[in-house]
Amino acid sequence: MTRAVETAGLIHEHLKQVPVTSCELIREGEPMPPEPPFGIWKPQSKKKEEEEEEEEEEEEEEEEEEEEEEEEEEEEEEEEEEEEEEEEEEEEEGGGGGGEEEEEEETLWCQRHRFRRAFRLASGL
């Protein structure tokens, strides 16, 4: 509603400044021209177009980020599966000599996994 009032005020001010011969072109009962001579709606339409383009770009970026996250998750799952398979193979072979190394690798993996998870939670992903 306030936009309409502002527009009406601008039109009124403009008509005050226009010579009488120009005002005679707009007679009672005839429709107003599609655009006022001072171009009040043009900048607003450009702003809307720019905003829409920005929104589209943001949506595309979000989609790309989601795809990257999904790919990372898939890679992590594959790594986990590979590590589990390696552990199972080592257990089957009876590799009891490298127990300390396995624990160190496991703790490093856990730390990395916790860090990634905390980062995702903190960034709202």
Query: Alpha carbon of 4 to those of 8, 13, 39, 79, 91: distances in Å?
Result: 6, 14, 15, 61, 78
Euclidean distance between the first and the last CA atom of the chain, given in angstroms as a whole number: 39
Interval 77-118: pLDDT, tens? 888 888 888 888 877 776 555 556 667 777 777 777 788 888
Interval 25-56: pLDDT, tens? 555 666 665 655 555 555 556 677 888 889 99
Interval 51-67: pLDDT, tens? 888 999 999 999 999 99
Phi-psi category of residue 30: left, alpha or beta, with phi > 0 → left and psi -120 to 50 → alpha: beta
- More reliable by pLDDT, 20 or 70: 70
What's the CA gap between 75 and 82, in Å, rounded?
Answer: 10
pTM score, whole prediction: 0.34
Polymer length of the chain:
125
The secondary structure of 18-69, three-state, reads CCHHHHCCCCCCCCCCCCCCCCCHHHHHHHHHHHHHHHHHHHHHHHHHHHHH
